[in-house]
Structure 1
Amino acid sequence: MARVLFVCTGNTCRSPMAEAILKSKQLPGVEVKSAGVYAVNEAEASVNAKAVLQENNISHDHRSSTLTGDEMNWATLVLTMTQSHKAMILSQYPGAWDKTFTLKEFAEDDLNPDVADPFGGNEQIYREAFLEIKESIEKIVEKLR
């Protein structure tokens, strides 16, 4: 059983899109959640994140949540959107070093380790973030099977 936790800042843009994309793959034995290092609990996904998911025929009912020790204990794999998210997590949960990676690091994408934050941007910026996340998830699907 793989339990994947995607982490970004506010849990309204990148990590919810990543969660929705991976859930849409319907991989047997893979559970998926998302959280944010500075999230406000129960906020909806951003309007543009929802629009881009809908454009791609991915349904997702999301409410944000702050990263907690319980979620870290639940996860067998923690995938962050940036190196700074990873560093923050490892400073708070040093025992998670063996299961915490940036999404792109885990996907073995060496070009740029961070997924840019689309927060406050237009739909096109969200589309670019969506595609960046989707490409990385496509690369890790086999690792999760």
Structure 2
Amino acid sequence: MMRRMLAVCLGNHCRSPFAQLALSRRGGEAVTVRSAGLIGKWQGRPANTSMIKAARRLGHDLTGHRGQQITVEMLDWADDVLVMDSAVLDMLRAISGEPNVRKLRLYLGDQDVPDPMGRGDDTFHDCAVLIEAATALHIGRRRP
């Protein structure tokens, strides 16, 4: 059975779009990954240009991303909801409903993925490296 994962950050503009790509690459055909943001500020818009550059440096193409605001249907769809920081996690817990609360967890397990918004390209790169490395927490090692 294919595992369904949903990566969530505040705006679906930086962290969760990159996590979607990184998790999809690592999981291959065994996973389907979507991403969304708690707020709709960047709905329908491309990812942050600095994150697009960071993704490119790591061999990912983020140019096709368009922001989405999270819906209850997305939460219902997912087997796992991987949240980028504790503030977003707290808000999701308040709105998600009993069955979906059990699916929610921080992407890094016990710490936040720092939001690079408003920072320089190096900060975005560091964020992307952290997100990509942490895919191992959610998806086992790929077989050669």
TM-score (norm 2): 0.89
Q: CA deviation at 1:89?
A: 0.7
CA distance in 2: counterparts of 1:100 and 1:26, whole angstroms: 19
Contact 2:27 / 2:139 at 8 angstroms: preserved in 1?
no
Deviations along 1:13-47, one digit per CA (max 9) or x if unpaired, are 00001011112225223100000001331011000
Q: How many residues are matched? A: 139
**What's 1:14 paired with?**
15
Q: Which residue of 2 aligns with 1:98?
A: 102
Paired AA for residue 40 in structure 2: A
- For 1:62-73, list aligned pairs within 5 A: 62-73=65-76
Shift of 1:122: 1.0
Instruction: For 1:64-83, list aligned pairs within 5 A.
Output: 64-83=67-86
Q: Distance in 1 between matches of 2:95 and 2:20?
A: 23
What is the CA–CA distance in structure 1 between the aligned matches of 2:26 and 2:85, rounded to whole Å?
23
Give the secondary-structure state (helix, strand or coil) at the position aligned to 2:105.
strand
**Counterpart in 1 of 2:48?**
46
How far off is 1:140 after superposition?
A: 2.1
User: Secondary structure of the residue that 2:140 maps to in structure 1?
Assistant: helix
Cα offset, 1:121, TM superposition: 1.2
Sequence identity percentage: 26
Please state how far the C-alpha of 1:132 moved relative to its aligned partner: 1.3
Alignment gaps of 5+ in structure 2: none
Alignment partner for residue 137 of structure 1, among 126, 135, 138? 135
2:124 to 123, 126, 139: 126
2:40, 2:26 → 1: CA distance?
A: 26
Give the deviation of 1:77 after TM superposition.
0.5
The runs of at least 4 consecutive aligned structure 1 residues that moved more than 6 Å come to none
Structure 1 gap segments, 5+ residues each? none
SS of the aligned residue for 2:36 comes to strand
Distance 1:138 1:76 in 2: 17
Partner amino acid for 2:11? G
